[in-house]
A and B are shown apart, each in its own frame.
Chain A
């Protein structure tokens, strides 16, 4: 049972345009969400996060939006650059105590290709 879903395995965007990566979740206990970026043959690197008490967080070209009622979040990259081409993972953490609070649940990833 997949609790974090990234329904688009891949996305192609022209350089300079907006990239929108989507993520849906089913567990209402999730209270913190993160996006990671991964290049081939490297480990994922943290990109941006958002707490469930917010609906938007911005860091330079990257903005994450959270819609709690829809259990949906999205990552916007504006403007997209060729160096943004990578796999992007959405991850979620729940509010519970004990073992659950140590873990992140990851989506399967979306491969973004930014075309020059």
Chain B
């Protein structure tokens, strides 16, 4: 079974803090993704990566950056957290050439 893990299930941070969200997958998938889920807005893509050290902006990259130094790990960075970044953050991965993405359990981030 594919396993995607995220470093924290719940996180509370203060405005202006730098926040790191970590995602690890164990199936040697080439592609990894970061989404945020908000009520009434569905899943919105923040960034994705199709290979190590490669990244592409999604639909809502503003205020975020990412890092992929190793194939299995994809990090989402909030350089200076703001209250409008309070959300559920979901990481996903998939093998190249297929459509199905596998999701982690999510991190509920609250920025005070």
Contact = CB atoms under 8 A, between A and B. Distances in A.
Interface stretch (A14-22, A40-48, A71-79): A40-48
B6 to A, nearest CB: 8
A43 B31 contact: no
A43 B40 contact: no
Interface of B is mostly: strand
B100 A46 contact: yes
Given A32-B99, A41-B106, A43-B104, A103 B48 contact: yes
A102 B92 CA distance: 12
Interface residues of A, number: 22
B57 to A, nearest CB: 9
A49 interface: yes
Interface in A89-116: 89, 93, 99, 102-104, 106-109
A41 B92 CA distance: 15
Contacts of A46: 100-102
A89 B43 contact: yes
Contacts of A45: 103
Contacts of A103: 33, 45, 48, 58
Interface of B: 4, 9, 31, 33, 40-45, 48, 50, 56, 58, 90, 92, 99-106, 108
